[in-house]
Amino acid sequence: MNQARGEWSSKFGFILAAAGSAIGLGNIWGFPIQTAKNGGAAFVFVYLLLTFIVCFPVVMTEIAIGRRTSKNPVGAFKELVPKTQWSLVGKLGVLCGFMILSFYIVIAGWVFGYFVEVTGGGLQRLATDGEFGIFVGNPYKNLLYTGLFMLATIGIVVGGIKNGIERWARLLMPTLLLMLGALIIYVMTLENAGKGLAFYLIPDFSKITVPVVNSALSQAFFSLSLGMGALITYGSYVSKKDDIISSGFIVTVLDSSIALLAGLLIIPAIFTLAPNTTADTIQAGPGLIFVFLPKVFMNLASDVGYFFASFLAAFFFLLISFAALTSTISLLEVPTSYVVDEKKIVRKRAAILTGGVIFIIAIGSMLANGASDFFTHFITYPSGSDKDFLSFVGDVFFEMCLPLGGFLLSAFAAFRWKTQNLREEIAQGRENYIGSILDKWISFIIYLCPFIIFFIFINTVLAKFFDIVLF
Identify the pLDDT of residue 317: 92
Highest mean pLDDT among 210-214, 325-329, 389-393, 458-462: 389-393
State the CATH architecture for 11-354: Orthogonal Bundle (1.10)
Q: Tell me: the pLDDT tens digits for 21-56?
A: 888 887 887 788 788 778 788 888 889 998 988 889
Cβ within 8 Å of residue 418, ≥6 positions away: none
Residue 412 has what DSSP assignment? Answer: I
- Report domain extents, the chain: 11-354
Amino acid at 131: E
Residue 386: strand pairing partners: 380
Among the ranges given (109-113, 169-173, 211-215, 306-310), the one the predictor scored with the smallest mean pLDDT: 211-215
Say if residue 2's pLDDT is above 50: no
Report the mean per-residue pLDDT for the chain.
Answer: 89
Cβ within 8 Å of residue 423, ≥6 positions away: 433, 434, 439, 442, 443
Identify the pLDDT of residue 281: 66
Identify the pLDDT of residue 235: 92
Contact 470, 459 (CB under 8 A): yes
Q: Where are the alpha helices (DSSP H) in 224-243?
A: 230-235
Contact 66, 76 (CB under 8 A): yes
Say if residue 119's pLDDT is above 60: yes
For the residues 295-320, what does the mean pLDDT come to?
Answer: 89
Residue 386 has what DSSP assignment? Answer: E
User: What span, in angstroms and rounded, lies between the C-alpha atoms of 462 and 123?
Assistant: 40
Separation of first and last alpha carbons in the chain? 46
Say if residue 361's pLDDT is above 80: yes
Q: Which residue has the higher pLDDT, 21 or 251?
A: 251
